[in-house]
A and B are shown apart, each in its own frame.
Chain A
Amino acid sequence: MTATSEPLVLGIETSCDETGVGIVRGRTLLADEVASSVDEHARFGGVVPEVASRAHLEAIVPTMERALRAAGVAISDVDAIAVTAGPGLAGALLVGVAAAKGYAIAADKPVYGVNHLAAHVAVDTLEHGELPDRCIALLVSGGHSSLLLVDDLARGVVPLGATIDDAAGEAYDKVARLLGLPFPGGPPIDRAARDGDRGAIAFPRGLTAARDQAEHRFDFSFSGLKTAVARWVEARERAGEAVPLADVAASFQEAVCDVLVAKAIDACRAQDADTLVIGGGVAANSRLRALAQERCDRHGIAVRVPRPKLCTDNGAMVAALGTHLVAAGVPASPLDLPANSALPITTVSV
């Protein structure tokens, strides 16, 4: 395939608080523009769906304009428009899906409604090339914590496990809040943890006990960890003692990353996969990246983690999955494509 015959796809992402527009030709990233409403959510301690939806409507046209300019293409040039159809916040998703249809009708292009989680896997191909025939994907963000078996991204993805309560990023947000750190909690905890002792406090590792292995071998649970941190901090405060912020942050972060990496490696070994792809906002965490690298090296597993800007939500990942689907000859979505807040991971494109 020559460079110019590779599919040129526009990707739109609005599943949470980032309005993303990306443009990809084949495996080449041409534009990745993101407008975030995160500052508007900070004082609420979490993403407010209606605030996010309003921001998407305001941001979509200027973000599209910037992406088209950056890529030097017109909407009429693209082969298809891909959009996150789910999972995510229903009202937020709907802004992106309706916008994609508007662009598609006006420019007479096919539209692909795609799975947000599959897009988080696909984005790595922009940086590290084609995926191997089989890999395990660990997707960790404020809304998701999943282990997936990926054989052929265009055909489907097999869910191995997911969080049974809070997502990993959600645990970071909640712990940050009780430590008096800002939202979103990932970056400030990561920073605070650098000066702390990871082994200072033995916080629990959810669903790692022997009795959990039959039913929850590849599932996660972070709700108990969050409560354990809250209890530990509160006990110090009641005793009138200072809370060692750096040690709490480092020990909490170690508990999260330890479980994520241990289960991801267990999944690789169980499924005979020699590659682990990590994606989602939490994949930007420095400790997760370092620990995954260290332990995977020991097991002969290749780790692929996109650069942080491609880990957090963006339109490039949607476009990357879109080019994959177009190249694989997957049919486009119907024009009555719904936004589906609970789109199962087994549905890569709608």
Chain B
Amino acid sequence: MLVLAIDTSTPAISAALCRVNAEGVEPIAEVATVDARAHGELLAPQIREVLGETPPARLAAVVAGTGPGPFTGLRVGLVTAVSMAQALGRPTYGVCSLDGIGAQTSGRVLVATDARRKEIYWARYVDGTRVGDPAVGHPADVAAGLADVTRAAGDGAFRYADVLGLAPQPPRYPSLPALVELAADRIRAGAPSEALTPLYLRRPDAVVPAARKAVLP
């Protein structure tokens, strides 16, 4: 079964075409571009590139990283996934984007990506499996609460290595074959399509206005 995978939760704009069969997940074509400000422009051409000669109608499903990630870029990937799936009449499956990094690690690891505003999106992994829900916070606060973690992976680990006090290790960005692997059972079973709910982890910045200001002196 051919599956399109998309992740736009980090500065890496990623698209991949993978084959899923009983043995596992095989990447056929993969393109990733690191540019924090071009998700809207680059994702679609990259999808066309990884599809190559493969007609989109041959796709069995679309898998997308649901974040957490900076909102605008994250939405580009999710809306592209749901619109393609709707046009094709195929299911979508969502996977936490941090798992695309954490699944590639072993031991007790902090996985962190850049949340901007000097914060990170993060989660703990033990031998590649996430422990608890992803969260957002200041790197210093996160580090203080993670006594048993010995390593850190992901873009946030590289950006905040000093504050975290942990040597950063790859992968820096989510691996799409890893995301597909985490959805593989659902894909093989033909599980019902899932709503791709973005993991924003922050509320919109919006303030209810105070009483109006006087205009007369």
Interface residues of A (CB under 8 A from B): 43-45, 48, 50-51, 53-54, 56-57, 60-61, 64-65, 75-76, 90-91, 94-95, 97-108, 177-178, 227, 230-231, 234-235, 238, 335-339
Give Cα A61–Cα B212 distance, bound, in whole angstroms: 39
With a CB–CB cut-off of 8 A, which chain A residues contact B81? 102
A95 and B87 within 8 A (CB)? no
Closest to A60 in B: B79
A103 and B72 within 8 A (CB)? no
Minimum Cβ distance to chain A for residue B60 (Å): 13
With a CB–CB cut-off of 8 A, which chain B residues contact A45? 208-209
Closest to B77 in A: A98
By size class, the interface of chain B is: 35 or more
**Which of B41, B48, B208 has most A Cβ within 10 Å?**
B41
Q: A50-B205, A234-B215 are in contact. Are A57 and B41 (CB under 8 A)?
A: no
A75 and B87 within 8 A (CB)? yes
With a CB–CB cut-off of 8 A, which chain B residues contact A95? 75-76, 79
Give Cα A231–Cα B50 distance, bound, in whole angstroms: 61
Closest to A238 in B: B216
In the assembled complex, B123 has its CB within 8 A of some CB on chain A: no
Contact of A103 among B47, B84, B215 (CB under 8 A): B84
With a CB–CB cut-off of 8 A, which chain A residues contact B79? 56-57, 60, 95, 98-99, 102
**Which of B84, B86, B212, B214 has most A Cβ within 10 Å?**
B86
B40 and A338 within 8 A (CB)? yes
A54 and B80 within 8 A (CB)? no
In the assembled complex, B145 has its CB within 8 A of some CB on chain A: no
With a CB–CB cut-off of 8 A, which chain A residues contact B76? 94-95, 98
Contact of A54 among B84, B204, B216 (CB under 8 A): B204
A107 and B41 within 8 A (CB)? no
In the assembled complex, B43 has its CB within 8 A of some CB on chain A: yes
A101 and B208 within 8 A (CB)? no
Contact of B75 among A51, A57, A76, A338 (CB under 8 A): A57
B216 and A97 within 8 A (CB)? no
Minimum Cβ distance to chain A for residue B152 (Å): 29
B204 and A97 within 8 A (CB)? no
B72 and A102 within 8 A (CB)? no
B40 and A102 within 8 A (CB)? no
**Which of A95, A108, A338 has most B Cβ within 10 Å?**
A95
Contact of B40 among A48, A97, A178, A227 (CB under 8 A): A97
Give Cα A209–Cα B29 distance, bound, in whole angstroms: 65
Identify which of residues 41-69 in chain B touch chain A, using a CB-to-CB cut-off of 8 Å. 41-45, 47-48, 51, 56
Contact of B80 among A101, A108, A238 (CB under 8 A): A101
Q: A54-B200, A95-B75 are in contact. Are A102 and B80 (CB under 8 A)?
A: yes
Q: A57-B75, A178-B212 are in contact. Are A99 and B80 (CB under 8 A)?
A: yes
Identify which of residues 12-51 in chain B touch chain A, using a CB-to-CB cut-off of 8 Å. 40-45, 47-48, 51
